[in-house]
Structure 1
Amino acid sequence: MTAPKTFRIGGDLEVRRLGFGAMHLRPETAEDRATCIAVARRAVELGVTLIDTAHLYGWGANEDLLAEALHPYPADLVIATKVGIRHTTSGEGWRHAGEPADLRDQVDEALLRLRLDRIELLQLHRLDPGVPIADQLGALRDLRDEGKIGRIGLSEVTVAELAEARAVVDIASVQNRYNLLDREHEPVLKACEEAGIAFLPWRPAAAGTSGARSSQIAAIAQEVDATPTQVALAWLLAHSPAVLPIPGTSSVAHLEENVAAGAVQLTEDQYERLTK
């Protein structure tokens, strides 16, 4: 099976479908920081053109690190980030932050950290249940119209929430948990595919650790001379042209393994065995 190598987010922003999730780049020491910077730079060297980050990842530290590692950015590199969550010292350590004024502040803060004049893909990390969807998406629409945002995405939404958001503004991407062994959000993926919306699965490389399912993955990995992780990513790429996997790691070796999954070719039979 031959899957398309690229996707146009929002219909015009072309990226390679196999991207990189930067959430694991959270250094605690100077040595860790050097390794994390090396991983980010190696991703670009390997041809990755879509890197996903968020304010939540280290409360801005992840965005700072990417800017340190990669700025000035290559012309074809898209840094996608997320807003809509703030740090708190109580409870789970975070809270929803979808008030329009807060979203505007968060976007301005992200622009400063990433050293950008415009964020080409800005995603709402979570819908705030205490704020009308129209108000949240309306604020991002206004920021888009002002030129601070290029395209707007969502994360962890249902089909109904996606439809409600699209009634307010064009949605370019959706980021939900999804992988070969966890397809809870298949209806959302299908809705995205039908609408030409990019679907960025987080936790995309889950390949299982026991039972018949992981045995089947391991068997096919042996057949195609690849790792189980590569097979799981190759299945995602074959499953829908709208899927843009963003596997994350803090290891150069794992990064290289993940990116190499783009070259793994599954036969129709292997794809069907995995799908079943």
Structure 2
Amino acid sequence: MPEETPAGTPEGTSTARVGGTVDVGGLALTRVGFGAMQLERLEGDRDAAVALLRRAVELGVNHVDTAQFYGNGFVNEVIRDAFGDDDGVTVVSKVGATPDPGGRIPLRLAQRPEELRAGVEDNLRSLGLDRIPVVNLRRADSGPGLRAEGDQVVGLDDQLAVMTALRDEGKIGAIGLSAVSLETVRRALPVGVVCVQNSYSLVSRQDEELLRLCVEQGIAWVPFFPLGGSFPGLPKVTDTPEVLEAAKSLDVSPAQIGLAWLLHHTPNTILIPGTADPAHLEANVAVGSLRLDAATLRSLDAVESRTGDIVLD
């Protein structure tokens, strides 16, 4: 459950803006973190990428979501350069895929146990860490995106066995899951899952039953593609009339409304919005202090959940 912002804390402070914390495997992570994938866009300006991460910490963010396959190691190396042991920043990474720059989706799956182990080792090297606090096993149970074929169709038990071994060896601190089904999470509960990352937004809420399970089990819910529209043909939160109306009423952006709704929807939700722009970063972090009134929440809650049709050219 999230910790409340201390009474009397001014809304302008970083503590208020990040919206309290959620317990993730014994770690108190701010409800608004930083998703590092878009740092790939700054590959030609490493100093700017480091400065952006440092700015996130100044704003009160205390965790960064990453992966070795973001920028083929570049993003992890920037994180290594940006943070020291005294910064109090928790790194959350993931395994289960490798880069595929020429593909329609720029990733290919790497699901076999030996590939998962290699992914953890690669993350350790590029991050310069002896132990990664949380590592998500990125499967392909749910969309949008990749689906496993051939030798990439791997049993969950085999994957959890290697993830548990890596935890026992001290190379990872806790295990999360990503792109998974309700059944997968239920089967994985005995290993001690601390977070679940799935595609989820105001306009795509197919995982409500899974989300309820996570609330019941004290598992953090970390939605990716939190504004929808991750692929052509999929609905976008920022195109929704109810969102546009709320944004106008509160004098904030439609994106901020979509993110704030997620924080209001369940107390175990953690956001990891990404950006390569400092102003956008500040807008994302400010969502932690954005309060939606009951009427606005009723209007947003009534928005129809829809899937749309993925279009890949």
Shift, 1:89, TM fit: 7.5
Could you report, residue by residue, the CA deviation over 1:16-71 in whole angstroms, capped at 9, with x for unpaired residues?
A: 111111110014653x3332222111111101012111122112221111112223
Q: Which residue of 2 aligns with 1:202?
A: 224
Match for 1:241: what amino acid? Answer: P
Q: What are the ranges of 5 or more consecutive residues in structure 2 without an aligned counterpart?
A: 5-19, 141-147, 229-235, 303-313
Residue in structure 1 matching 2:52, options 39, 43, 66: 39
Q: Which residue of 2 aligns with 1:135?
A: 158
Q: Which residue of 2 aligns with 1:229?
A: 255
**Distance in 1 (alpha carbons) for counterparts of 2:287 and 2:53:** 18
Q: How many residues get paired?
A: 268
Residue 65 (str. 1) matches residue 78 (str. 2)? yes
Q: Which residue of 1 aligns with 2:97?
A: 85
Shift, 1:72, TM fit: 4.1
Shift, 1:226, TM fit: 2.1
Match for 1:82: what amino acid? Answer: K
On the 8 A contact 1:224/1:264 being kept in 2, the answer is no
Residue in structure 2 matching 1:15, options 29, 34, 43: 29
Greater CA drift, 223-232 or 92-101? 92-101
Shift, 1:268, TM fit: 1.5
**Distance in 2 (alpha carbons) for counterparts of 1:29 and 1:7:** 31
Residue 257 (str. 1) matches residue 283 (str. 2)? yes
On the 8 A contact 2:134/2:172 being kept in 1, the answer is yes
**Distance in 2 (alpha carbons) for counterparts of 1:244 and 1:90:** 32
Q: Which residue of 1 aligns with 2:116?
A: 103
Greater CA drift, 93-102 or 34-43? 93-102
Computed over aligned residues only, the root mean square deviation of the Cα atoms, in angstroms, reads 2.1
Residue in structure 2 matching 1:266, options 281, 292, 296: 292
**Distance in 1 (alpha carbons) for counterparts of 2:52 and 2:121:** 27
Residue in structure 2 matching 1:164, options 166, 178, 187: 187
Q: What are the ranges of 5 or more consecutive residues in structure 1 without an aligned counterpart?
A: none
Aligned-partner SS, 1:172: strand
**Distance in 1 (alpha carbons) for counterparts of 2:263 and 2:245:** 19
On the 8 A contact 1:71/1:115 being kept in 2, the answer is no
Residue in structure 2 matching 1:120, options 102, 115, 133: 133
**Distance in 2 (alpha carbons) for counterparts of 1:46 and 1:194:** 31
Shift, 1:209, TM fit: 4.5
On the 8 A contact 2:68/2:126 being kept in 1, the answer is no
Aligned-partner SS, 2:212: helix
TM-score with structure 2 setting the length: 0.79
Shift, 1:125, TM fit: 1.8
Aligned-partner SS, 1:63: helix
**Distance in 2 (alpha carbons) for counterparts of 1:34 and 1:259:** 21
**Distance in 2 (alpha carbons) for counterparts of 1:82 and 1:25:** 16
Shift, 1:158, TM fit: 0.7
Match for 1:7: what amino acid? Answer: V
Aligned-partner SS, 1:182: coil
Q: Which residue of 1 aligns with 2:145?
A: none
Match for 2:221: what amino acid? Answer: F
